[in-house]
A and B are shown apart, each in its own frame.
Chain A
Amino acid sequence: MRNIIRALFACAVLAPVAATSDEGLSGAASSLSQGRTFSEQGGAALFAGVCAGCHQPDARGASGAGTYPSLVGNDVVASAEYLEFLLFTGRRGMLPLGAMLNDQQMADVINYVRGHFGNAYPDEVSADQVKAARPHPASAP
């Protein structure tokens, strides 16, 4: 039963994407990724397309019945390695994202967060460092 449910969900999710693959889209829908990996490139685009939905466009997070942590003035942002870990493994309500981001995208979005929103950590993480930290071989291209 569970496999059937997953299969139905997969169809529901993939249908709009499949519909776009033949002719392509020029409007707002063209910003959607076309498969199981994110197509956004560069820290700003990745933050806006991936992180902002929870952490909000100003990175200040949101609180209601649950909490999406602020990335502003948050000490954990000091550690690029911890952000790598978070992206690879997820935590609480945060899904693991590493399999949907390649090494360069991971480095770009981590560096972007650590260099914006009032954060100014000078040490940047490289794609090679992300690659070394990646738990399993990337399924992303």
Chain B
Amino acid sequence: MLLGGYTFGGPNAFELTAMSPADRIKVAIECGAQLHPQYASEFENGMSVAWHRVPFTLGCAGVWTDEARRDHYDDLCQIDGRIVLAGEHASYIPAWQEGAILSAFDAIARLHKRVLAS
């Protein structure tokens, strides 16, 4: 499995998201074949997602300002009733799996502490 393209912010991001998923894959294969000529013949199938149009994400990653982090980060990470959030957006390393994993550890630690205290 190969992530053949991930674009955001620049012209190509807009152009790719305006294409159908099939056309995006066609483009990705053409671009990949420039580096690896066997790319097209070895390709079996693919998928493409315009994350900004997916209702449960509405984008690719959390973006924090220093002010937003100061005012809201601690609240975001608190357990609120039955809700506990974990993910790259609830970490100091937005957009990366490392942030998501660290956030999961943090959420688990909070849950554990809460269970022990109850």
Residues of A bordering B, CB below 8 Å: 1, 5, 9, 12-13, 16-17, 19-20, 22-23, 25, 27-29, 31-33, 35-39, 48-54, 57, 62, 64-66, 68, 93, 95, 97, 100
**Nearest-CB distance from A55 to chain B (Å)?**
10
Contact between chains at A50 and B14 (CB < 8 Å)? yes
Given contacts A23-B34, A28-B30, contact A33 B9 (CB under 8 A): no
User: Per-position contact with A for B88-107: 1 when CB-CB < 8 Å, else 0?
Assistant: 00000101100000000000
CB of B17 within 8 A of chain A? yes
Contact between chains at A64 and B95 (CB < 8 Å)? no
Given contacts A16-B5, A48-B18, contact A25 B31 (CB under 8 A): yes
Contact between chains at B11 and A95 (CB < 8 Å)? no
Q: Given the complex, which residues of B lie within 8 Å of A100, measured CB to CB?
A: 10-11
Q: Which of the residues A16, A22, A65 comes within 8 Å of B12, measured between beta carbons?
A: A16
**Which residues of B2-23 have CB atoms within 8 Å of chain A's CB atoms?**
5-19, 23
A-B contact pairs, 6 of them (CB 8 A): A19-B35, A27-B26, A31-B27, A50-B15, A53-B14, A54-B52
**Nearest-CB distance from B114 to chain A (Å)?**
29
CB of B55 within 8 A of chain A? yes
**Nearest-CB distance from B60 to chain A (Å)?**
10
Contact between chains at A65 and B58 (CB < 8 Å)? yes
A34 to B110 alpha-carbon distance, docked (Å)? 47
Contact between chains at B52 and A29 (CB < 8 Å)? no
Contact between chains at A49 and B23 (CB < 8 Å)? no
A37 to B12 alpha-carbon distance, docked (Å)? 9
CB of B43 within 8 A of chain A? no
Given contacts A25-B30, A64-B53, contact A13 B11 (CB under 8 A): no
Q: Which of the residues B17, B27, B58, B93 comes within 8 Å of A53, measured between beta carbons?
A: B17
Taking A50-B11, A54-B53 as known contacts, 12 extra A-B pairs with beta carbons closer than 8 A to each other, sorted by chain A number, are A1-B93, A5-B96, A19-B32, A23-B34, A25-B31, A25-B34, A27-B30, A31-B15, A48-B18, A65-B56, A66-B55, A97-B14
